[in-house]
Amino acid sequence: MLWQTTRHSVDLSRPRVMGIVNVTPDSFFDGGRHLATDAARAHCDRLVQEGADILDIGGESTRPGAHAPSEQEEIDRVLPVLEHACTLNVPVSVDTSSPALMRAALAARADIVNDVRALRRPGALDAVASHGSCGVCLMHMLGDDPAAMQQAPAYDDVVAAVSTFLQERMHTLQHAGVDVGRLVLDPGIGFGKTQEHNWQLMQRQSELIRLGRPLLVGWSRKSTLGLLIGREASERLAASIAAALAAVQRGAHIVRVHDVAATVDALAVWRRSGLVA
Ligand code: 9MG
Instruction: Give the pLDDT of residue 250.
Output: 97
Residues flanking ligand 1, CB < 6 Å = 58, 62, 95, 114, 116, 137, 139, 186, 188-189, 216, 218, 256
DSSP structure class, residue 180: G
Q: Report pLDDT digits (tens) over 7-53.
A: 999 999 999 999 999 998 877 666 677 778 999 999 999 999 999 99
What are the φ and ψ backbone dihedral angles of 91, each rounded to 5 degrees? Answer: -60, 140
Query: Residue 76 belongs to what H/E stretch?
Result: helix 71-85
Atom in ligand 1 nearest the alpha carbon of residue 116: 11
Instruction: Give the pLDDT of residue 194.
Output: 96
Does the active-site annotation cover 256? yes
Q: Residue 32 Cα, ligand 1 centroid: separation in angstroms?
A: 26
Residues in the chain: 277
Q: Among 169, 193, 213, 222, which one carries the catalytic annotation?
A: 222
Q: Which of 78, 96, 116 to mutate to test the pocket of ligand 1 (most atoms within 8 A of CB)?
A: 116
Query: Residue range 166-190: average pLDDT?
Result: 98
Q: Report pLDDT digits (tens) over 222-254.
A: 999 999 999 999 999 999 999 999 999 999 999
- Residue 106: pLDDT over 60: yes
Question: Taking Cα atoms as reference points, which of 81, 101, 95 lies closest to residue 34?
Answer: 81
Q: Among 103, 256, 271, 272, which one carries the catalytic annotation?
A: 256
Atom in ligand 1 nearest the alpha carbon of residue 218: 7
Instruction: Give the pLDDT of residue 146.
Output: 84
Instruction: Give the pLDDT of residue 30.
Output: 63
- Computed on alpha carbons and rounded to an integer, the radius of gyration of the chain in Å comes to 17
Q: Residue 117 Cα, ligand 1 centroid: separation in angstroms?
A: 10
- Residue 62: pLDDT over 80: yes
What are the φ and ψ backbone dihedral angles of 25, each rounded to 5 degrees? Answer: -55, -25
The C-alpha angle with vertex 20 and arms to 17 and 24, in degrees rounded to 5, equals: 175
Q: Which of 22, 61, 114 to mutate to test the pocket of ligand 1 (most atoms within 8 A of CB)?
A: 114
Q: Report pLDDT digits (tens) over 264-277.
A: 999 999 999 997 65
DSSP structure class, residue 29: G
Q: CB under 8 Å, gap of 24 or more: what pairs does 100-104 form?
A: 100/71, 100/75, 101/59, 101/71, 101/74, 101/75, 102/127, 102/128, 103/127, 104/75, 104/79
Residue nearest to atom 4 of ligand 1 (CA): 218
Instruction: Give the pLDDT of residue 29.
Output: 64
More confident residue, 53 or 67: 53
Instruction: Give the pLDDT of residue 277.
Output: 53
Mean pLDDT of the chain: 95
CA 209 – CA 69 distance, rounded (Å)? 34
CA 161 – CA 242 distance, rounded (Å)? 26
Does the active-site annotation cover 222? yes
Instruction: Give the pLDDT of residue 33.
Output: 76
